[in-house]
Amino acid sequence: MTDQADGSATGRRPTMIDVARAAGVSLKTVSRVANDVPTVRPALAERVRTAMSDLGFQRNSVAANLRSGRTTGTIGLIILDLANPFYSTIAAAAAEVAERFDTQLITASSGWDTARERELVLDLCERRVDGLIIACTGGDQSYLDEIARGTPVVFIDSPPSGPRSDMVLLDNRTGTRDLFRRLIAEGHREIGTITDTLNDFTMRERLAGAREALREAGLESGRHAARIYSDRPRSAGDAVGAMLDGPHPPTALFCGNNRILLGAVEELVRRRSRLRLAAFDDFEFAPLLPHPVTVVSYDTRALGRLAAEMLFQRIGSPRTDPSTYVIPTYLIDRGTMIADTG
Amino acid sequence: MTDQADGSATGRRPTMIDVARAAGVSLKTVSRVANDVPTVRPALAERVRTAMSDLGFQRNSVAANLRSGRTTGTIGLIILDLANPFYSTIAAAAAEVAERFDTQLITASSGWDTARERELVLDLCERRVDGLIIACTGGDQSYLDEIARGTPVVFIDSPPSGPRSDMVLLDNRTGTRDLFRRLIAEGHREIGTITDTLNDFTMRERLAGAREALREAGLESGRHAARIYSDRPRSAGDAVGAMLDGPHPPTALFCGNNRILLGAVEELVRRRSRLRLAAFDDFEFAPLLPHPVTVVSYDTRALGRLAAEMLFQRIGSPRTDPSTYVIPTYLIDRGTMIADTG
DNA sequence: TTGAAAGCGCTAACAG
DNA sequence: CTGTTAGCGCTTTCAA
């Protein structure tokens, strides 16, 4: 025995055909009701709606999109690591914009792996996402030309190597230059820098900004430079330790991103060092760090929001020239100077 | 003039039919090659593959799933706020499991709004996600029975009100009880508690744990209790201020979650107060807070991982009884006692 | 090993 | 206003 009058199998989800049969109307009328087409006699519409709820009908939007050939109402976001607050903030902001366009966000992490990034792009294109936002790895993105054919892409945080595209970037260079100018104005001449190898572009830009400020002041750069090869804060802490224990310890320290800063602060706290500290990236907990720090800050949510808005704009008009939006950066003195809590 | 030999319109994506025509084979053979069916003569397969790359063919996995009626290879994750590290960590862990099942994760934030949550569930079910992971709001989830018909659901963090389901919860009660036991053992008799109204279940459980410990010690509870109505840390800071300025300031403070803790620390630092501080939720920056704090910690990634594993298990065998997994919690003394950095 | 036909659940185009 | 027919791009019969 089945639980449906028309004898359709239990377990199968009811389709518009089932609803049509139950309501004694044609498939098309059901479709009209489901799409709120106004030209349906109220009485009929009511009967259809009753049948729908009786059967527990739920329209299959996948099938709907297949025929109409319109958008699927999904966009893909490929980032490096969803667990990193920088990227999750971007994801949240992008999702908010997507909501305005009745679009869902598929979020995937590439984990700094270019091959994985490529796989994800392919997979998402095969799912026919309406567009992609990509925080790309340091690798080569030429594959996009053959893979993303027609799927609009906006890059964030760092530009792709290869294709010309819409981009939303941070003003890495200016931010770091201003930061170094301040450190130099404070009298620092030996500034240690710690960067990582995970995001070549941003780190290069930040270092270029640093060099600019140093050159203006007639200072050498690169005397205290360390690069780390993971995003574990501990690696950064070790690098800081090595620097401080070296023959020419710096008087100030610049951390290339928030994770490096985290490791550096840990190490400095452990050593009860009062080294002048500065970093790129601001974050919610920065004001509470136990070591004063001056950071290059910017509006992370704006980055995600603009990227999504740019993408929907591009989806609307595919054949205009790509453009780049640069998010401004500014300095903030953060961190507390906690006295005698011991 | 078109750029394709068979005359198909420029701009249209090539389909298997286009490939078949170009390779001089049947549609079905193309399908076989696309699906790596081994029973295709190598020479033919090669010809098909050549045609595919010549035309830039990209299989439409949406259409493929429509006919086969199999899974869509997507699961939905509905959380309260993607920007909160607690939830983004869960999302990252769930995505990692999903990857093993060749599944993509659609992440959406309900923003503590039950109506929005319901809309999202409906939307995702209409997209025919293979399953849902939901961190539900405090509202009523009875709608699930009529909406999610057949779509497996796993709840995380707090149980739904209404449907019986698989769940992954934290051991809120034991964690908080142990924490209060410790505070009491330290001699504290007046412990302020700050909770919020955003997640009734978890807060109730945590308070129940607190009361248990207080009762064991023959102490009253509720003398210093404040509830805040937003997740802005500032609200928590204000509540702390009011408590400390009140007639009976507590000697220790319990913060119901990480955002409350954040606001409390800010306020305590501002006042240079040395109040004994404790909180539910651990997070990466906790060790660096400028105020010592004992936290109830747990494995957030495990929560996301288990929820996803449970979901895929449920997708595999829909008709078994729902089960609940409780993630253990444990105490950690966190925070630094920074001396004389002034 | 290959192909023709049917059909997944829906919408578009055209009739009535 | 309503229904019929076709067809989205693919997979699943089943026959050759």
Give chain A's domains with CATH numbers: 7-67 (1.10.260.40), 74-167+301-324 (3.40.50.2300), 172-297 (3.40.50.2300)
| Partners of residue B60 in chain A, C-beta under 8 Å | 126, 128
The reply to whether residue A60 touches residue B126, judged by beta carbons under 8 angstroms, is yes
Looking at residue B38, its pLDDT comes to 86
User: Separation of CA A64 and C1' C9 in angstroms?
Assistant: 7
DSSP 3-state helix, strand, coil percentages of chain A (rounded to 5)?
Answer: 45, 15, 40
Q: Does any CB of chain B come closer than 8 Å to the CB of residue A59?
A: yes
Give the closest of A91, A122, A341 to B274, CB-based: A341
**Number of helical (H) and strand (E) elements in chain B, helices listed first:** 12, 12
Summarised one tens digit per residue, pLDDT across range A113-130 is 999 999 999 999 999 999
Distant-in-sequence, close-in-space partners of B245: CB < 8 Å, separation ≥ 6: none
Summarised one tens digit per residue, pLDDT across range A197-249 is 988 899 999 999 999 999 999 998 767 888 888 888 899 999 999 999 998 89
Token pair 């086969």 in the structure block, residue: B68
Alpha helices in chain B (DSSP H): 16-23, 27-34, 42-55, 61-68, 85-100, 114-126, 143-147, 172-185, 200-216, 233-245, 258-271, 300-316
Give the closest of B82, B262, B288 to A289, CB-based: B288
Nearest CA to B170 among B331, B300, B261, B314?
B300
Nucleotides of strand D under 7 angstroms from a protein beta carbon? 1-5, 7-13
Length of chain A equals: 342
Looking at residue A3, its pLDDT comes to 36
Nucleotide nearest to B35 (CA to C1'): D11
- Residue B147 binned pLDDT confidence (cut-offs 50, 70, 90): confident
Pairwise CA distance, residues A179 & A297, whole Å: 10
| Partners of residue B292 in chain A, C-beta under 8 Å | 341
Residue B76 has pLDDT above 70, yes or no: yes
How far is the CA of B294 from the CAs of B54, B223, B257, B314, B332, in angstroms? 63, 21, 12, 37, 6
Element at A134 (helix H, strand E):
strand A131-134
User: Do residues B188 and B276 touch, judged by C-beta distance below 8 A?
Assistant: yes
Residue B339 has pLDDT above 80, yes or no: no
Please, what sign has the CA dihedral across residues B264, B269, B271, B273? positive
**Number of helical (H) and strand (E) elements in chain A, helices listed first:** 12, 12
- Residue B335 binned pLDDT confidence (cut-offs 50, 70, 90): low
Looking at residue B9, its pLDDT comes to 35
Share of chain B above pLDDT 90, in %: 69
What is the 8-class DSSP label of residue B35? T
User: Separation of CA B16 and C1' D2 in angstroms?
Assistant: 35
Pairwise CA distance, residues B21 & A307, whole Å: 39
Share of chain A above pLDDT 90, in %: 69
Nearest CA to A156 among A74, A75, A229, A73?
A75
The reply to whether residue B108 touches residue A108, judged by beta carbons under 8 angstroms, is no
Structural tokens at position A203:
């780190």
Question: Chain A closest CA to B122's CA: distance in Å?
Answer: 8
- Asked whether residue B44, judged by its CB, lies under 7 Å from any atom of the DNA or RNA strand C, the reply is yes
Summarised one tens digit per residue, pLDDT across range B157-195 is 999 998 889 999 999 999 999 999 999 999 999 999 999
User: Average pLDDT of B207-218?
Assistant: 95
Residue B1 has pLDDT above 60, yes or no: no
Looking at residue A221, its pLDDT comes to 73
The reply to whether residue B109 touches residue A124, judged by beta carbons under 8 angstroms, is no
Q: Which residue is nearest to nucleotide C5 (CA to C1')?
A: B28
Looking at residue B11, its pLDDT comes to 66
| Partners of residue B13 in chain A, C-beta under 8 Å | 149-150
pTM for the predicted model, two decimal places: 0.92
User: Average pLDDT of B226-236?
Assistant: 88
Choose between B163 and B236: higher pLDDT. B236
The per-residue pLDDT of chain A, averaged, comes to 89
Beta bridge partners of A227: A195
Distant-in-sequence, close-in-space partners of A266: CB < 8 Å, separation ≥ 6: A233, A234, A237, B287, B288
Distant-in-sequence, close-in-space partners of A37: CB < 8 Å, separation ≥ 6: none
Nearest CA to A291 among A256, A231, A259, A337?
A337
